[in-house]
Structure 1
Amino acid sequence: MDINLLLALFAGALLTFAAFSTVLQRASLPGPLLCLCFGTVIGPHALDLVRVEDFEVPTGTLLEQAARITLAVGLAGVALRLPHGYWRANARWVVTMIGLGMLLMLVVATGVAWWGLGVPFLVALLVGAIVTPTDPVVTTPIVTGSLAEEKVPEKVRHNLSAESGINDGLGYLFVMLPVLLITKPDQAWHELMVKVLLREVVGAALLGAFAGLVLGTLFVLVRNHGLMEESSYLAFVVPLSLVLLGGGKLLGTDALLAVFVGAAVFGQVIPQRDEAEEDKVHDAVARLFLLPIFILLGLALPIGAWAGLGWAPVLVLAGAVLFRRLATIWTLWPVLGSVHDRSEAAFLSWFAPIGVSALFYATLAERHTGNHDIFVYATLAITISVLLHGLTSAPFSAWLHAQEPRRRERQEEPAG
């Protein structure tokens, strides 16, 4: 592998997309979509300039670890995006979408996959679990940047960010259920409750909360004593996510959940004024950590395997990705109606894209089960989501913004 060619291609693409980011975003061409297309073009199915095999690491291992690091940085950015007091003020949304929403999305996605793909139920359950979590990386163009701030209400952006952060970590519990039922059917439920739930999930939450509190207190201490310059904020935040990722894994926990909880607690401990820097921090690291994974995925897309599936799985997986969210939001509307009005609910019922988290769980599931079909189905679902949600981000955001006068009128009606 020619490292200079790799650097030129990857860095050149990121530089180009960064230079025209505002124009591209307003044209519904967000970074994840462009990078996925770029990776496909330079890969073996088009120009054949770079192959994923050139990295001399097993494809599954490379994608799993790259996705894991990308998610850690992305989850930290999501958690730090939320203002002080967010969790208490928005408990209804968080509890409803995580407690009931994830279960409903799992049921709907699994049902559609089982009905349409013609695979065994446990494989359908695994595909459904993989596509259930909303992805924090693909949602970034919808909740940050000039277009999002101008068109999408702050409450919608914050609630979508919080949901995508929490359900990414909790998605591990959903994915491990079918994995254990496939690989260890006699011990599956015991191992799920004892090892996965208590040790890995609950342990991750406790570890993250403790680490976030300690590191947040340390951050305030060193800042108050003038031991850290303003520019050191980025140097503090990015290692925070990677320390929690590595430490959480070494301690046998769900490291991604530990990262999100830790960063969320950290963000609530540090002074509110420091959080104003978060958007700039996130934008800076996004192009370095978050976008290259989509170029890598574009290189690894199993397009040959997709061609052998025909068109039916494309429609089925599109239905699983889209309908899982539509059915869930409107089923829970009696509970969520006091949180978001109908236009906001319509927006949220569409924008629940999948991406890096689905890639991570797909490679993890393939490693555990040895079933390559899972990777084929999951990457097809990811590509469909990146295309559909990416191309509709600008027009749907503009539509939501156009509903703002009506929302204000409805809010003023009781007062009159």
Structure 2
Amino acid sequence: MANNIWAIPLQTTNFNIIVALLGGFISLFGLVSYLVKERYYLSEAFIALAIGVAFGPNGANFIRPNDYAQCDKANVSGIDCQDDLNSITLNFSRLVLGVQLVLAGVQLPSKYLLKEWRSISLLLGPGMTCMWLATSVLVWALAGQPPFLHALAVGACVTPTDPVLSAVIVKGKFADHNIPKELQSLIIAESGANDGLGYPFLFFALYLIKYIGSGATSGGAGEAMGLWFAFTWGYTILLSVLYGAVVGWIGKELLHWAEERNYVDRESFLVFAVSLALFVLGTCGLIGTDDVLACFIAGNTFTWDDWFRLETMDDSLQPTIDKLLNVTIFLWYGAFIPWTLFHENSVMASWKLVLLGLSVLVLRRLPWVFAMHKWIPQIEEVKQALFVGFFGPIGVSAVFYIFVSLEFIEEHLSDEDGNPRGDVMKLGETIRVVVWFLVVCSIVVHGLSIPVGKLGYLAPRTLSRAVSESLSEDLRAQRQRRHSVIKSCLGILGIGKEEPRERSPPHGSITITSARPIQVTSAARIDTSGAGTPRSEREIRFPDDVI
């Protein structure tokens, strides 16, 4: 009985473990955050992903996604469990994207989308189309040549550039020193707008798979294109743009009204953009439109007159909330990613996945941005074009489109029992394997590229400096040895001996030199009264007994 009373009541619940781990990691990372981010230029997304892997099911198993979805319950099947996990990850990704995109829209200068529509249109039109097609061709070639429509669906998931990972190159000391402000704004605008514009590329492929795929039972290309134009472009895209603009404008006017009358306190004023993001996410989710694009448009419209952006420019509340969400989502990804699928799948061998990852990082974006950079005023130099072309990260937005695709397959390409149609049996697995692997590749490569690039830039200079200093010391030593040998040889031959020097005058004596004769008279003292006359004209008198 005493043992039971004095026993330590450990409560190792999932909530206690995950909160302790999350708080401990953020605290420890915060202690060295300046060193990690501003000295070594490491991405916090990469570090959080690595911690998630280390403490997830493939590591210490402190973060247990299966438990959160109640996969250990006997009455829950594996399929239902996976659906719950997918739903958790999808909604978590929506939350992070929504907040990030509203804040991205707020960061842009006044009327930016209107003023820079030409540059943005180039990146969102020809740029995204080329990125989509290039990635789809690579997937088709390396995934065993599946139906090309399937490759188009996979390529559409990774076409948008991720606003969360793009923040690495538009914030902090590296961005301030290396990227002009105009180019930073362009990167923010592109990464914010193209997230929502991934819908047309994805549903172009999915509608065609549904109506003209080998397993299609009705409809045709006409019906597919009708739905694509009416539902995807009309309802999903245009309605989202209009809804986001209206909500953002109304929010701006209401906040102006309340602030002028001193109805709103400072804390509520600062958090208004985040609450606006939550409202847009929820309402767009209710009507089934593009909440991601609506959030970005709402954020940009909200600061259309630059008032809110300038008022909160020096405030750290919004970046703090943004950082907490980013760190948490990548911790979750590290624990949730299906790592075993990368080497145990029926789609691609591991070496093909690696080859695909490298090919996509090089060919998905870089050639097209480089080809267009002369028509984009913000990209002034070739090295800037290479930089912007390389930094097109794949992250949270790609994960979002994974689950949008899986939901469409389950609802529209499956039978009543939930089994996928015969021609799309591997489509869901292909999307999961390829897109998750490309997300991991992008987080690792783009998270390490700046420090590795800095190391590659500084190492040759340091090595060159060390080598030149070593060579200089060697040359100096050789010169000294050569001089001593020559001097010794000349001494042996009796050549070059020094002439005896004249004895220096005794201490205290005076040596007199002059450019003209000096008059010496018999006097008892030295006449120094003519301090202002030239030295050659002064009289120097000595006593008569000296002369």
**TM-score, normalization by structure 2:** 0.70
User: Aligned partners of 2:133 and 2:314: how far apart in 1?
Assistant: 36
Q: CA deviation at 1:47?
A: 1.4
Shift of 1:339: 4.3
The 3-state SS of whatever aligns with 2:246 is: helix
Structure 1 range deviating more: 391-400 or 81-90: 391-400
Q: Residue type of the partner of 1:60? A: N
Q: CA deviation at 1:388?
A: 0.5
| Post-superposition offset of 1:231 | 2.6
Contact 1:220 1:270 in 2 (8 A): no
Any idea what the Cα deviations from partners look like across 1:122-175, whole Å, max 9, x if unmatched? 221111111110000011121112332233221221111100000001112212
User: C-alpha distance in 1, partners of 2:195/2:395?
Assistant: 11
1:411 corresponds to: none
Matched residues, percent identical?
28
Range that drifts further, 250-259 or 330-339: 330-339
Matched with 1:230 is: 266
Structure 2 partner of 1:413: none
Are the structure 2 counterparts of residues 7 and 184 from structure 1 closer, same or farther at C-alpha, using a change threshold of 3 Å?
farther
Question: What's the CA shift string for 1:184-216, capped at 9, x where partnerless?
Answer: 443422211111110111000000111111111
Name the CA distance, whole Å, in 1 between partners of 2:175 and 2:249: 30
Say which of 405, 418, 421 aligns to 1:365. 405
Q: Which amino acid aligns with 2:240?
A: A
Matched, 1:307 2:343: yes
Deviation at 1:24, TM superposition (A): 1.2
State the Cα deviation string for residues 230-281 of structure 1 (Å, max 9, x = none): 3323321111001011111222321111111011100114516635437623
Instruction: Give the C-alpha shift of residue 398 in structure 1.
Output: 9.7
Q: Distance in 2 between matches of 1:347 and 1:250?
A: 39
The yes-or-no answer on 1:352 pairing with 2:379 is no
The answer on 1:69 being equivalent to 2:95 is yes
1:40 aligns with 2:25: no
2:148 is aligned with 1:121: yes
What code does the residue aligned with 2:170 have?
V
Q: CA deviation at 1:359?
A: 0.4
Larger Rg, first or second structure (1 or 2): 2
Q: Which residue number corresponds to residue 21 of structure 1?
A: 33
Contact 2:160 2:191 in 1 (8 A): yes
1:159-174 alignment to 2 at 5 Å?
A: 159-174=186-201
CA pair 385-85 structure 1, distance change in 2 beyond 3 A: same
CA distance in 2 between partners of 1:396 and 1:99 (Å): 30
Residue 129 (structure 2) pairs with residue 103 (structure 1): yes
Give structure 2 stretches of 5+ with no counterpart: 1-12, 70-80, 213-218, 411-427, 458-547
Write the distance in 1 (CA, Å) between the matches of 2:271 and 2:309: 17
Q: Quote the offset at 1:40 in angstroms.
A: 0.7
CA RMSD, 1 decimal? 2.1
Q: Structure 1 counterpart of 2:61, which letter?
A: D
Tell me what 1:12 maps to: 24
> 5+ residue gaps in structure 1?
401-416
Quick check: 244-253 or 266-275, which moved more? 266-275
Q: Are the aligned partners of 1:60 and 1:367 in contact in 2 as well (CA < 8 Å)?
A: no
Native 8 Å contact 1:69 1:242 kept in 2: yes
1:290 aligned partner, one-letter code: N
Give the alignment partner of residue 287 of structure 2, picking from 242, 251, 271: 251
User: Which residue matches 2:501?
Assistant: none
Q: Which has the higher helix share?
A: 1
Task: Say which of 195, 202, 211 aligns to 1:175.
Answer: 202
Partners of 1:324 and 1:367 in 2: CA distance: 26
Within 2, Cα distance between the matches of 1:332 and 1:66? Answer: 35
What is the CA–CA distance in structure 1 between the aligned matches of 2:350 and 2:49, rounded to whole Å?
22
Question: Residue 409 of structure 1 aligns with which residue?
Answer: none
1:14-413 alignment runs, 5 A limit: 14-25=26-37, 26-56=39-69, 58-118=84-144, 119-185=146-212, 186=219, 187-269=223-305, 271=307, 274-277=310-313, 280-308=316-344, 309-336=349-376, 339-370=379-410, 371-394=428-451
Q: Give the Cα separation in 2 of the matches to 1:327 and 1:229.
A: 49
- Give, in angstroms, the shift of residue 89 of structure 1: 3.5
Number of corresponding residues: 400
The runs of 4+ residues in structure 1 deviating greater than 4 Å are 394-400
